[in-house]
Structure 1
Amino acid sequence: MRLIAEPLTAEAFAPFGEVLAAPDAPGRVHIEGALANRRPHAKPTLYFTCKAPSALPLTSTTMERHLHSSQSFVPMDAGQWLVIVAPHAERGGPDMARARAFLARPDQGVTYGADVWHHPLTVIDRPARFATFMWKDGTPADDEFFEVAPFEVHLP
């Protein structure tokens, strides 16, 4: 399967979560969805990641989800990066026939909604640093990984 990355926009990404961006003028933007938690005993977790770039086209067989928590990625020092998502399949797991790939700018973050299938964080043009926020309780329910048929992501 081959996906062509499209520009990341709030409208296109809305079924999967929220696009995060700082305001253009002085002030604040509140993103309530970045804090979704379905387990009262889970604790907020903030961690920092440094990722090496992946070669394009990206080839992968892995998707993941966090059933009980949203997960937010906020670039701290990044170039372009990929956001790959898929809705649920009728028989469980991600529906890769309806998967979408987005190309995020360095000034855009995302919040994947709770229970949204997505590809692990992937940067493409240079090493990048991100702040990541999610809720965890330390059980296997924090993260679920799913092997899918190989797919490729290309830039337009």
Structure 2
Amino acid sequence: MLPVAIAAQPLAASSFRDYGHVLSLAEAGRVYHGGLIENRRPHAQLDLSLALVDAGVLPFALRLFERHPFSAQAFIPIDVAGYLVTVCPDDGTGQPDPSRAVSFMAGPDQAIVYAAGAWHHPMVALQRPGRFAIVMWTTGDDGDEELVPLAAPMQVINKTS
């Protein structure tokens, strides 16, 4: 049996600000956001990757949280119907606090930048598989990413359900 469900709400910059930034891909012209990709290690290299993410459906079971303690991480939708963004604060000891997790449903015209050190669930495309460009700073060592499995899965549901 899954614990109390987290209701996913629409993604808005104001409700996501503690975890990073929401960028609109619908803005006309060219808008620069390079300063948002924070790097806390001078020897890191900028990494651009492309990912095809399998589709998930709501309700969705969360099984782990991850963070990138030294770099912000940007997800830029290339071809996606929508996606799920789930974040939680640090518990004060350097671990995620899933009891305070929040989930957002992002649209195909919204990119996100997780702040360096922000705990988040891996990307979940909704409705169909999705393609993303991912930008972050890496060194290729264990400091690039921390993964923490949850003791028990958590369920995310649609807020309107």
TM-score by length of 2: 0.91
Shift of 1:147: 1.3
CA contact (8 A) 1:33 1:70 kept: no
Aligned equivalents of 2:92 and 2:118: distance in 1? Answer: 14
Shift of 1:127: 1.0
CA contact (8 A) 1:4 1:101 kept: yes
Shift of 1:60: 1.9
Unmatched tracts of structure 2, length 5 or more: none
CA contact (8 A) 2:89 2:97 kept: yes
Residues 64-83 of structure 1: pairs in structure 2 closer than 5 A: 64-83=66-85
Aligned to 1:9: 12
CA contact (8 A) 2:41 2:70 kept: yes
Aligned to 1:108: 110
Unmatched tracts of structure 1, length 5 or more: none
TM-score by length of 1: 0.94
Percent of residue pairs bearing the same amino acid type:
41
Pick from 143, 146, 156: which aligns with 2:145?
A: 143
Aligned equivalents of 2:127 and 2:14: distance in 1? Answer: 25
Aligned equivalents of 1:23 and 1:54: distance in 2? Answer: 25
Residues 1-156 of structure 1: pairs in structure 2 closer than 5 A: 1-25=4-28, 27-148=29-150, 149-156=152-159
Aligned equivalents of 1:64 and 1:24: distance in 2? Answer: 30
1:69 aligned counterpart, secondary structure: coil
Aligned equivalents of 1:137 and 1:24: distance in 2? Answer: 33
Query: Runs ≥4 in structure 1, deviation > 3 angstroms?
Result: none
The alignment yields a C-alpha RMSD, in angstroms, of: 1.3
State the aligned residue count. 155
1:5 aligned counterpart, secondary structure: strand
CA contact (8 A) 2:26 2:109 kept: no
